[in-house]
Amino acid sequence: MNQDDDLDRLFRTALQRDTAGWQAPVSQRERRNTLVRARLLASMATVGLAALLVVGGLALHGRLAGGESPIGGGHPPVVGTSPSTLPATATPYAVTPSAVAVSPTAPGGPVPPGFVPVSGSGLPDGTIWLLGTAPCSSAPCTSIVRSLDGGRDWVGIPAPRTPLSGYRSATGVSQLLFANAEDGWAYGPELWSTHDGGASWHQVTVAGGGILSAAVAGDQLVVAIGAESDQGGTVLLAHAPVTGDDLTVTDKFFAGSATTFPPPVELAGSASGAVWALTSAAADGQLLSSVNGGASWTATTYPCTQGPIEADEAAIAAAAPGRLVVACGWGGAAGSESKTVMTSSDGGQSWSTVAAATEPSPTADGVLLGGDLDGIAADGSTMILSSSSGGSELETSADGGVTWSRTLGLASGGTPWSSVVFLDPQDVLAVTSAEPQVAAGSAYISTDAGQTWTELDIPG
């Protein structure tokens, strides 16, 4: 064991001792996203090297006086340092705290300077985690920051010791998901878990391929695992208790060909334990459902067959018990894509079209034509459609998809949305990925169910 390993062990032991006795309360077009992240990592490495040359010998990687192991990948922690805090007048929003008391989570240090988000997750109590990267002296530079108050104050916490993943990467992570204050995962294609609020992370063995998608269904983590071959790909569906790491494979299906793998697979879970798996790979579009947290699966009606051609992109969200929302994208060209939004009130057995935009006659205000489909999020009758091409847009419907309005448009050069997450029916987190020399990744909060948005200021 080298000195850095000893320091890391000592730091993590200190975290565990300080936080003993905690009690917890209770995905998007990855092929585009991971290409963006690959370019981001190269850019960040260059910036980090330049910074080291400026400060000369003043920066010692991974240790301060007294010596601690890195927080957030290659960034040094300061245990006991006050978190980075915005002035009270700088944040014109306030996420309403949950009525459920939340126990303390992993203590943190300062936010890594230059932090750029690529994905996010959150809870109804206003806790937000962002996965990203920042310049550092020694790769991997993967970092995580956390806010306990809806984005006003931020700290850096430990991150998995693995890089952010690139397109078709065999290693690294690109997405973040938390089930509660203690149990969370970084994934895609690797799977890393924490069961102490991010104080420590470890890699979970995944047999059969890499993680394509993940969702929480009741007390279960459900994952889609992709295994590539010359003949195409097989997607395995597996689950594990959110408090543990033993994955059990329960079903599989063929998706895509050798040229389309990994296929676009999305999972949507609900608090009841119901979960759905959707793929729109070419002519192999499929929808599977489970009512028991992924222990068994049943094929149900695939909805994206309404356009003049087979949908080439699809996204799914669970809006309420038994109620699903699917967005189908098809006919993409010249920076725009037609979209159809469909709902089901019987768990996916039957579907109704609630909104459609087809060239040359889009909806009245044109919001559903937009860029390429990134995803859809829903809670009750509120839906938020995310897309990107020349820019990055969010379209919001407050009446179950009958009417839509563009509530956020970024001149980002097409930076994709990696996460749009309802923390509760009113508070929504949205995160774009990042593309060097075009636009940095950014995070936004809405406290009025997606009608207005404020960019989160993450000091570092």
Q: How many CA atoms lie within 13 A of 287 on its CB side?
A: 24
Look up the pTM and report it.
0.78
User: What pLDDT score was predicted for residue 88?
Assistant: 32
Mean pLDDT of the chain: 75
When pLDDT is averaged across residues 302-309 and rounded to a whole number, the result is 68
Q: Where are the beta strands (DSSP E) in 12-91?
A: 84-85
Does 291 have pLDDT greater than 80? yes
Confidence of residue 280 (pLDDT cuts 50, 70, 90): confident
CB atoms within 10 A of CB 376: 27
Check residue 330 and give its pLDDT: 74
Q: Is the pLDDT of residue 100 over 70?
A: no
Sheet of strand 116-122: strand arrangement: 84-85, 153-157, 142-147, 128-133, 116-122
User: Where residue 418 falls among pLDDT bands split at 50, 70, 90?
Assistant: very high
Looking only at the bridges linking them, the beta strands covering 428-432 and 417-422 are antiparallel
Task: Calculate mean pLDDT across residues 376-388.
Answer: 94
Q: Sheet harboring 275-279: ordered strands across? A: 265-269, 275-279, 286-290, 298-300
* pLDDT tens digits, 355-372: 776 444 445 444 566 688
Contact criterion met (CB below 8 Å) for 317 and 304: no
The highest-confidence range among 45-59, 154-168, 227-241, by mean pLDDT, is: 154-168
Count how many residues are written for the chain: 460
Domain map of the chain by residue range?
Answer: 1-78+108-204+421-460
Task: Give the model confidence (pLDDT) of 226-238 as tens digits.
Answer: 876 545 568 899 9
pLDDT in tens, 317-331: 999 888 999 998 876
Mean pLDDT of 276-284: 76
- Of these ranges, 60-74, 276-290, 338-352, the one predicted with the greatest mean pLDDT is 338-352
> What is the H or E stretch that residue 117 is in?
strand 116-122
Separation between Cα atoms, residue 44 and residue 262, nearest integer Å: 26
Report, as an integer, the average pLDDT of 258-278: 83
Tell me which residue of 300, 306, 386 sits closest to 353, measured CA to CA.
306
Q: Which residue has the tokens 């960034």?
A: 75
For the ranges 1-10, 12-21, 276-285, 343-352, which has the lowest average pLDDT? 12-21
Q: How many Cα atoms within 13 Å fall on the side-chain side of residue 270?
A: 24
Of the candidates 319, 320, 282, 321, the residue with the CA atom closest to the CA atom of residue 302: 282
pLDDT at res. 184: 98
DSSP summary character for residue 304: -
Mean pLDDT, residues 161-184 taken together: 90
Average pLDDT in the 375-400 region?
92
Residue 131 has pLDDT above 90, yes or no: yes
Q: How much is the pLDDT for 154?
A: 96
Query: Can you give the pLDDT at residue 368?
Result: 65
What residues pair up with 352 in beta bridges, in sequence order? 343
pLDDT band at 262 (very low <50, low <70, confident <90, very high): low
